[in-house]
Every structure is written in structure tokens, then in C-alpha cells.
Amino acid sequence: MTQQRIFVLNGPNLNLLGQRKPEVYGTSTLKDVELSLRQRAQEYGFALEFLQTNHEGVLVDQVQRARAEAAGIIINPAAYTHTSVALHDALEAVDIPVVEVHLSNIHRREQFRHHSFVSLQATAVFAGAGAYGYLLALDFLAHHLGEDTAS
Ligand code: CA2
């Protein structure tokens, strides 16, 4: 049986994770996040595609790819969360579960971060759990997709 593929998409500036603003975003680097996700994905038997980009169009392209190639999407769209109708529209066209992740609790922050275009299309949202939110997202997908066999 071919492994189910999960796309993990990260938006602008998340490559800086662990280098600045630890009081807001924690001390884990994006590489740390990727490694812990890969370990957990292996336990579930998922194949993981992990990407960070600073470009909105690249995120849209990857969401369109995921339509055909993935069983689920985990996405931290970073600042595009609050601005991108293009991402909203791309996600609207996918039939697979979409889990939105934010390291910080966007609802405790500035007003402009309270609205998410992505949440309108998300199956589930995790915000404020730090890097652990990505693992929660994967656990949720495993449960949602009926693959919850990790010990
Ligand atoms: O809390 C989150 O995960 C965010 O998606 C992070 C975005 C922010 O625009 C969203 O409102 C909430 C910012 C990502 C930038 O990450 C940095 C990490 C370290 C240093 C500077 C930026």
C-alpha cells in the first residue's frame, strides 16, 4: 500500500524561528519542528513533505499540488493568514482535511491577527501551543484519516 502523504506548509519568516522573538514563538527552530514531525509521521506511516516559503504564490502552488498528491495539509501561513484571499480560494478547492497551525495564540495578540482567511477553510485550528501545535495537527490528521495507530 502506498503511504499517505501529508504536506506541511510554512509561510513567510518562519525560517527565522528560534533566532528571534523566543518570547512569542519559542526556541525551537523550523528544523526542530520538521524533525519531530518526521519522527511522528513515521510512527503513523505517513510520508511528509515539508516546505517553508516567503512567497504567497508558492503556497498557492503547493496547495494546488496537495489536491492531487496529499491526504492532508498542515499549514502555518504566517502573515498570509491575515491577508491572503488567494490562499483562501486555493484551500476552498481542496477536498482533503486542512489543519491551520499558529505557534502563538493569535487571538491574544494585535487586532489585525485575530482574523484568519485560512480558518474559513480549515478543518481544525491549533493556536498558542508553540511548536507542539504541529504535532497536535499531525495527531489530529491521523485520527481524522483513521490512521491512529501510534503508541
Ligand atoms: O503564531 C504564528 O505561528 C504566526 O503564524 C506567526 C507569524 C505571524 O505573522 C502570525 O500572525 C502568527 C509570523 C512568523 C514570523 O516568525 C518569526 C520567527 C522568529 C522571528 C521573527 C519572525
CATH number of the domain within which 14 lies:
3.40.50.9100
Looking at residues 127-136, what average pLDDT do you find? Answer: 98
Note down the domain range covering 42: 4-150
Provide the pLDDT confidence category of residue 151 given band limits of 50, 70 and 90: very low
Q: Among 25, 44, 80, 134, which one carries the catalytic annotation?
A: 25
CB 42 within 8 A of CB 86: no
Provide the pLDDT confidence category of residue 36 given band limits of 50, 70 and 90: very high
Looking at residues 38-67, what average pLDDT do you find? Answer: 98
Determine the pLDDT at residue 2: 84
CB 142 within 8 A of CB 7: no
One-character DSSP codes across 86-105:
HHHHHHHT--S-EEEEESS-
How many CA atoms, within 13 angstroms, populate the side-chain half-sphere of residue 63? 30
Residue nearest to atom 6 of ligand 1 (CA): 78
Atom of ligand 1 nearest to the CA of 24: 1
Residues 6+ apart with CB under 8 A from 111: none
Catalytic residue status for 132: no
Atom of ligand 1 nearest to the CA of 109: 11
Tally of domains in the chain:
1
* pLDDT reading at 42 higher than 80: yes
Q: Among 80, 88, 102, 134, which one carries the catalytic annotation?
A: 102
Looking at residues 34-53, what average pLDDT do you find? Answer: 98
Full-model pTM: 0.95
Interval between CA 39 and ligand 1 midpoint (Å): 24
Catalytic residue status for 102: yes
